[in-house]
Amino acid sequence: MKRLLAASLAAFLVVTGLAGCEPADPPVEQPPGPPAALQPSGPVKVPDRGAYVGAWVRPGDYSDAARVEAITGLEGQLGRKLDIVHVYHKWTDKLADPADSAFVKRGTTLMISWAGADTRMVTSGRLDQEISAQAVRVRNLKKPVLLRYRWEMDRPNLRAQMWSPEDYIAAWRHVRRVFQQAGASNVSWVWCPTAEGFATGEAQKFYPGDEQVDWTCADAYTSTTLRPLSEVAGPFLNWAKARPKPIIIGEYGISKKFSATERAAWLRDAAVLFERTPRIKAVSYFNSDPEGNDAAHQYSIDGQSLAAFRGMATSDWFSRGRS
C-alpha cells in the first residue's frame, strides 16, 4: 500500500479544485493516436453504456453468512444491488464456496481474486490436479465470472514467489490452459497489477499479452499523501488506452488518514474520472479496514464518504446494475 510521494496538500487542492469540490481533469498524458478498438471481453460482457459498480466489503467474520450480510448491508446503505461482488481466496481455498454461490444465484457478477502459487511450481505441472479441480468448481457456477489470477503480482514482497515477469507470464498461460481443458469457459481473465507499478515501469513487464487477457485492471489507493485518483491511476490509464481491452479498477480507496470532507471530495472526483474515461467499464471499492493497519491504510466508508459513494453508485452512469 505504499504510495509514491506527490506535491503538497495545498498545491493539490489548488490544482484539482477539491477545496471547492470541483472535479479534477482526467490524465492528460496519452499515447499518440486514437484508443485501440475494444476486443471481446470474454463471458463477462461490458455494459452498453456506463460502467458496473462493485465492492469488497470486509465482514465481521469470514463465515458464509457474515460475508453475505456484509454485502447486503452495504447495498442497503446504497439503495441498490452491486453489479460486482469482489471476493478473495487463498490458493488452497475452494473457489466458489457457499457465499460465492449465493452471490451468483442472485444475479451478481462474481470477481474472484485468487492468490497464486510459486510460478515455477505451476509451470512444472505438479499443481495441475489442484488447478483443474478449482476450474471445475468455477465452471459449475454456470455463470460468467471475473477471475483475477495472482493480482498485484508486481509487488516487491511477491518477487520470491513470482521469480520473474517471464515466469509469471508462463504460469498465467499454464493456469488458463488448464481451466480451458477443464471446460471452465465461463471465466473472463482479469490481469491486475498495482497502479504504482506502472509509474515505475515494473507492472507492464508482467503483461501476458492481448490474446491472454480479457480485461485490464489496476489497484489504486490514496493512502499517505492526498492525491486524486486521476494522478494515482494515470500511468496505468495511459498504458491501457493503447490496449484493446476494457478496464476494471479492481480495488480503489481513500484512507482514513484524511478528513471526512477530503475523503468525500476525493470520491466525487474519482466518479468524474470514471465518467470521463469511457474505457473504464467497471470499478470496485475496497471497503475494508484491514486488521493491524494504521489509519493511512484503512479505507472503509461512512458518513460523508458513504454519501459520496452512494451518489456515484446511483448516478445515471452506473445505473446499468441498479435493481
CATH code for position 267: 3.20.20.80
- In a domain? residue 84: yes
Residue 16 lies in a domain: no
Return the pLDDT at 35.
Answer: 66
Per-residue confidence (pLDDT) for residue 2, from 0 to 100: 37
- Answer yes or no: are the C-beta atoms of 284 and 54 closer than 8 Å: yes
Asked whether residue 27 is assigned to any structural domain, the reply reads no
DSSP 194: B
Total number of domains in the chain: 1
Residue-wise burial string across 201-229, b where 16 or more C-beta atoms lie within 10 A, e elsewhere? ebbeebbbeeeebbbbbbbbbbbbbbbbb
Residue 23 placed within a domain: no
CA distances, 188 to each of 24, 44, 147, 176, 212 (Å): 32, 6, 6, 10, 10
The single-letter DSSP state of residue 148 is E
Domain contains 10: no
Query: Across the chain, where does the E strand assignment appear?
Result: 52-57, 84-89, 109-114, 145-149, 187-191, 215-222, 247-254, 280-287
Q: Is residue 215 in some structural domain?
A: yes
DSSP string spanning 87-113? EEE-TTSPSS-HHHHHHHHTTPEEEEE
Tell me how far apart the alpha carbons of residues 296 and 1 are, in angstroms, rounded to a whole number: 9
25 belongs to a structural domain: no
Per-residue pLDDT of the chain (323 residues; tens, 9 = 90+): 433 333 333 333 333 333 333 333 333 334 444 567 788 899 999 998 899 999 999 999 999 999 999 999 999 999 999 999 999 999 999 999 999 999 999 999 999 999 999 999 999 999 999 999 999 999 999 999 999 999 999 999 999 999 999 999 999 999 999 999 999 999 999 999 999 999 999 999 999 999 999 999 999 999 999 999 999 999 999 999 999 999 999 999 999 999 999 999 999 999 999 999 999 999 999 999 999 999 999 999 999 999 999 999 999 999 864 43
Q: What is the rounded distance in angstroms from the CA atom of residue 91 to the CA atom of residue 34?
A: 39
Residue 323 inside a domain? The answer is no
Query: C-alpha 69: how far from its chain's center?
Result: 21
Query: Judging by DSSP bridges, how do beta strands 280-287 and 52-57 pair with one another?
Result: parallel
CB 249 within 8 A of CB 233: yes
Range of the domain at 245: 41-316
